[in-house]
Amino acid sequence: MKKIYMALAALFYLSTMQIAHASKQLLTPASSEGYAEWAEKPTVGDGIAFTYENGLWGEAFAQGIRVKIPFHRHWSVVVRPLVLHRVGSSNNYRADVGGRLELVGASPLFLNFARIYGGGGLQVFYSVKGEPNPKVSFGGGGHFGFEFFGARTYSFFAEIGGQSGAQGGFGTGATVMAGVNWYPWSGSAR
C-alpha cells in the first residue's frame, strides 16, 4: 500500500511540474510594466454583477440580492438589500428588512477560476413583523469570501463574516452566506 501512495505522490509531483512548465508562457510580461496579458485584460467575472444570496445571519435566516458596481480593477461598491427571518413557532416569527452599503476589495482572478474577496460597510434594518415597537436600527459588518467561476458570466460564492444585527440584537453575530453571481457583460468589448 505504501508503494501505491509513493507512486501516486510521484505522479502528482511530475504532473504539477509539467503544468507549471506549460503555463510558463502565460506568466511572461506582455509590456514594459511587467503585467501579464491575462492579468491586464480580465475576461471572466469583470464588470457589474447581480447576485442572489441566502444563509445564516446570526440566529436569523437571511435572503438578499446584491448589485456590485466596480470603480477600479480590484474595488467595488456593493448595494445589498436583505430580509432577515426568524423561523420558529407561528407566534415567534419575525421579519426585518434592510440592507448594507459596502466597500469590497478582491484579488486578481486565479487561473480564470477563483478569487478571494472581503469587504464591509454600514447597514440599516427595520422590523416589519414580530417586533411590538419597531425602530430603525443602524450598524455595520463585514465578510471574507471565495468566488468560483463556472463560466465567463456566472460564479458561486461562499463567505463568512460578522455584523451588529438589527433592533434588539436580532441577527447579531456570525454570518455564513452563499449564492450565485451573474456578470451579464463580462468579457464584452469595451
The three grid cell numbers given for residue 171, joined into one nine-digit string: 441577527
Task: Summarize pLDDT for 65-86 with one digit per residue, the tens.
Answer: 999 999 998 999 999 999 999 8
Q: How confident is the model at residue 165 (pLDDT cuts 50, 70, 90)?
A: confident
pLDDT greater at residue 36 or residue 154: 154
| Residue 31 confidence (pLDDT) above 50 | no
Cα 80 from Cα 58, distance rounded (Å): 17
Structural domain boundaries enclosing 143:
47-182
Residue 131 included in any domain: yes
Residue 94 lies in a domain: yes
Domain of 53, CATH number, reads 2.40.160.20
Q: Tell me if 6 is assigned to some domain.
A: no
| C-alpha radius of gyration, the chain, whole number | 21
Number of domains in the chain: 1
The total number of residues shown for the chain amounts to 190
Residue at 187 is within a domain: no
pLDDT score of 144: 97
pTM strictly above 0.85:
no
Whole-angstrom distance, CA of residue 4 vs CA of residue 108: 37
Let me know if residue 126 belongs to a domain: yes
- Does a structural domain hold residue 165? yes
Asked if the structure places residue 21 within a domain, the reply is no
Question: Has residue 37 been placed in a domain?
Answer: no
Which residue would you say has higher pLDDT here, 179 or 46? 179
Per-residue DSSP letter, 56 = E
Dihedral (CA of 133, 135, 141, 147) sign: positive
Q: Is the pLDDT of residue 187 over 90?
A: no
Determine the pLDDT at residue 186.
Answer: 83
